[in-house]
Amino acid sequence: MLKIKTIKSAGLVLVTLTTLLCINIQTILAQEKPTLNRTILLENKVNLPSKNINAKIIRVTFPPGFKTPRHTHEGPGPRYVVKGKLKVIEGDKTNTYAAGEVFWESGNLMSVENIRENTAELIIFELVPAN
């Protein structure tokens, strides 16, 4: 009698362990896999002056406290602040942008000032009529 009970108990333990193992494997397989996150940071309709456009990507580094003179760029486009904080005066509008923010520059008369005590960095995406 004792051997039969021991065999049944061992069988029950084996079935239980197998079931738990299968559940754990399914749980591991069902865990979320990394996915691609896509976020629109800026969207702007653009009327381009030409069918042929020269797209430029320019990296600009601003020393602490540096302010550009009023100037224009060859074309409009999005600007991405990589690091630091910038005060942008474009026309009669003044805005500040920090690292990770994006803004649209129209190509009008403007100035940019690094308002932090560390270096600031800006990526300019410029859309210029091709020659």
pLDDT tens-place string over residues 66-122 = 999 999 988 889 999 999 999 999 989 999 999 999 999 988 899 999 999 999 999
Q: Could you tell me the fold of the domain covering 53-129?
A: Jelly Rolls (2.60.120)
pLDDT tens-place string over residues 6-61 = 556 666 666 666 665 666 666 666 667 788 888 888 888 888 777 888 899 999 99
For the entire predicted model, the pTM comes to 0.69
pLDDT tens-place string over residues 54-73 = 899 999 999 999 999 999 98
- Report which of 83, 82, 81, 88 is spatially closest to residue 112, judged by C-alpha positions: 88
